Amino acid sequence: MEKIIDGKKLSLKLKEHIKNRSEDLYKLTGKRPKLTVIMVGNNQASKVYVSNKEKSCNEVGIHSNVLHYDNIDTDKLIEIIKELNEDKDVNGILVQLPLSSNIDEKKVIEAIDPIKDVDGFHPYNTGKLWINGDPYFYPCTPYGIYKLLIENNVEISGKNAVIIGRSNIVGKPIASILLKNDATVTICHSKTSDLSSYTLKADILIAAVGKPYFVKKDMVKEGAVVIDVGINRIIEDGKNKIVGDVDYNDVFDKVSKITPVPGGVGPMTIAVLLENTLKAFMIQNNIK
């Protein structure tokens, strides 16, 4: 059985499917799905993410555009989002986070029409996710993780799933998805005392901490499935590198399956975003 969970491979398969579907929809409607990304400020990592999203949209026949603002306030940004909500040509609206500190992120996210909220961060969608598992859109990274688990035949029901990290974009929503799929879920965070006592019980361990090589062998149960969400930019041996939150080489022999960084969760996040944009188009055009 394959030990490395290959997110790149699965994301390519999903993208191929989305491309075909998008072509079929074009033949049917004469229109293509459109994603508008809003970016504020000059965060270098955000710039890379936004350009990857644009590139991926192009690859699968989804139109995309980026609205980039250096200086903007909350009210103006909300005004722009309201215009996009009304624009019938725009199916998905994504506000690239983090926003600059002068902007009220919560208000901005809440301004997006839930039916165009392809990131799945609007309280309507997060609330629906927790209450009955039925949002318009699942958040991209957590749903990408779920797809990786399913595709790699990882049993979720009845398993102990431990998540390190409680952010709104990763930790909490993946907890909700795994709970819905009958795992027993524990969420750990920076105030958790004796973290290892939890992680050592994990059949499925999800690391979303934002600290390079944080998870070591002595924190992992023998045979665990380890999902590494971390994207940490570090300099190692004089080279710029992207590494995960898990010390991959250290834990490798002990685990049954593991996602690499890069090539694990990252590519799945974008694939789910494309899928969500296609879904937005279909909902808004009453296509089943």
- In the complex, which residues of this chain contact ligand NDP (CB under 6 A)? 141, 164-167, 169-171, 188-192, 195, 208-211, 229-232, 265-266, 269
Tokens (6 digits) for 31: 């229109």
Please measure the distance between the N-terminal and C-terminal CA atoms of the chain and give it in whole angstroms. Answer: 36
Tokens of 217: 């062998």
Report how far Cα 133 is from the mean position of its chain's Cα atoms.
16
Nearer to ligand NDP, 136 or 214 (CB): 214
CA–CA distance, 266 with 273 (Å, rounded to integer):
11
Helix (H, G, I), strand (E, B) or coil at 240: strand
Least separation, in Å, of the C-beta of 28 and ligand NDP? 31
Residue nearest to ligand NDP (CB): 167
How many residues does this entry show for the chain?
A: 288
Of 90 and 269, the one with the shorter C-beta distance to ligand NDP is 269
If the CB atoms of residues 184 and 192 are measured against ligand NDP, the closer one turns out to be: 192
Helical spans, DSSP H, in 97-220: 105-111, 123-132, 140-151, 171-180, 195-199
Nearest to 283 by CA among 113, 57, 141: 113
- Report the alpha-carbon distance of residue 140 to residue 42 in Å, rounded: 23
Q: Which of 165, 173, 275, 283 is nearest to 215 (CA)?
A: 165
Query: Which is closer to ligand NDP, CB of 25 or CB of 208?
Result: 208
Q: Which is nearer to ligand NDP, 224 or 229 (CB)?
A: 229
Report CA-CA distances (Å) from 122 to 58, 132, 141.
26, 16, 15
Where in the sequence numbering do the catalytic residues fall? 53, 96, 119
Name 9's Cβ contacts closer than 8 Å, sequence gap at least 6: none
- Report which of 131, 130, 95, 90 is spatially closest to residue 111, judged by C-alpha positions: 95
Contact (CB, 8 A) for 217 and 226: no
> Between 234 and 287, whose beta carbon lies closer to ligand NDP?
234
> In whole angstroms, what is the distance from residue 261 CA to residue 267 CA?
10
